[in-house]
């Protein structure tokens, strides 16, 4: 199998026949492929349309989720079932063009990219509610991740099979698949300017909250990727520094008190000095952070994935 095309969808019954016909026109005589539709809890006739497409075309596969789990879950299900050497993901709303698939396939197979992300260079979206927030969001992800892509959230992407079999997406993490892939060891990540067509049917299912949630998800990915297997390096370091700082401050207050007493100088009670409570708080927080790091290490030690590493290549040995 050369290509697996994964299409997550929710309430896109009107666009599915046209999308299928368009993909067949582009791919039919050139590639061995499969099309996997993931119905993420649609309330319209999307599943009935998918069933009719399966009856007409044996290369079409359909998976129906029991309820709306979100795009990340739908993509993960598709990743688990994909069989092609190159995996293409795209949206079902006809805003992504199947005409891009041959060049994406070529960039993976001939230029040896691990992942190619689409870049909707010219967008047909509302400037205020989507274009401007999207630019700010993409800038923030570039700064934090050090991956120089213009459009992290473009649904049109191409992957080597080993990439999608090595990563896991959940929650709202589909926006950060290039970041997840990078932290998994896949560093050859490229970009291709792709067509972005005006929405023909239905309406957008995304709101402003996705940008706030997206930023929080980015911080989660970066923290887990960097410290997930060594939590003591983060919590223990900060906890130790805070404890030492609080201890030094407390020692200073005690020595200062003793000095003033022995030299018959005016001396306030230590408990009447605000700096004492600041020092005490630092020591308590430092202890709690150190314990959190220790517990993280204990949990990690007993995890069945603590030694899960990705092998790039293996020969006889």
Judge whether 309 lies within some domain.
Answer: no
Q: Same structural domain for residues 10 and 159? A: yes
pTM > 0.95: yes or no: no
Could you tell me the residue range of the domain that residue 241 belongs to?
231-301
Where does the pLDDT of residue 267 fall: very low under 50, low under 70, confident under 90, or very high at 90 and above?
confident
Judge whether 270 lies within some domain.
Answer: yes
* Domain boundary pick from 192, 227, 262: 227
Q: How many domains does the chain have?
A: 2
pLDDT digits (tens, 9 = 90+) for 123-140: 765 555 566 767 777 887
Q: Same structural domain for residues 39 and 78? A: yes
Q: Same structural domain for residues 116 and 210? A: yes
**254 within 8 A of 207, measured Cβ to Cβ:** no
pLDDT digits (tens, 9 = 90+) for 201-241: 766 655 555 666 666 776 776 676 666 667 788 888 899 99
């Amino acid at each position: 199998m050369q290509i697996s095309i994964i299409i997550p969808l929710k309430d896109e019954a009107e666009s599915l026949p046209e999308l299928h016909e368009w993909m067949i026109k582009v791919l039919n005589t050139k590639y061995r492929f499969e099309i996997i539709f993931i119905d993420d809890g649609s309330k319209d006739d999307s599943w009935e349309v998918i069933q009719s497409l399966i009856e007409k075309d044996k290369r079409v596969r359909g998976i129906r989720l029991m309820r709306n789990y979100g795009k990340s879950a739908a993509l993960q299900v598709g990743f688990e079932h994909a069989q092609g050497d190159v995996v293409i993901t795209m949206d079902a709303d006809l805003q992504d063009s199947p005409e891009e698939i041959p060049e994406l396939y070529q960039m993976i197979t001939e230029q040896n990219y691990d992942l190619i992300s689409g870049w909707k260079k010219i967008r047909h979206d509302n400037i205020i509610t989507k274009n401007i927030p999207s630019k700010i969001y993409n800038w923030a992800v570039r700064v934090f991740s050090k991956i120089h892509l213009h459009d992290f959230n473009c649904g049109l992407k191409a992957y080597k099979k080993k990439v999608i079999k090595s990563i896991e997406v959940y929650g709202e993490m589909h926006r950060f698949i290039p970041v997840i892939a990078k932290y998994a060891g896949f560093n050859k990540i490229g970009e291709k300017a792709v067509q972005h067509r005006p929405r023909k049917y239905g309406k957008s299912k995304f709101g402003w909250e996705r940008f706030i949630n997206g930023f929080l998800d980015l911080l989660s990915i970066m923290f887990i990727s960097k410290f997930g297997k060594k939590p003591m390096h983060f919590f223990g370091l900060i906890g130790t520094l805070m404890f030492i700082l609080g201890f030094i401050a407390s020692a200073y207050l005690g020595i200062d008190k003793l000095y003033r007493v022995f030299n018959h100088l005016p001396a306030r009670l230590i408990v009447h000095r605000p700096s004492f409570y600041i020092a005490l708080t630092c020591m308590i927080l430092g202890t709690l952070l150190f314990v959190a790091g220790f517990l993280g290490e204990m949990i990690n030690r007993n995890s069945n994935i603590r030694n899960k590493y990705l092998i790039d290549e293996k020969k006889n040995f």
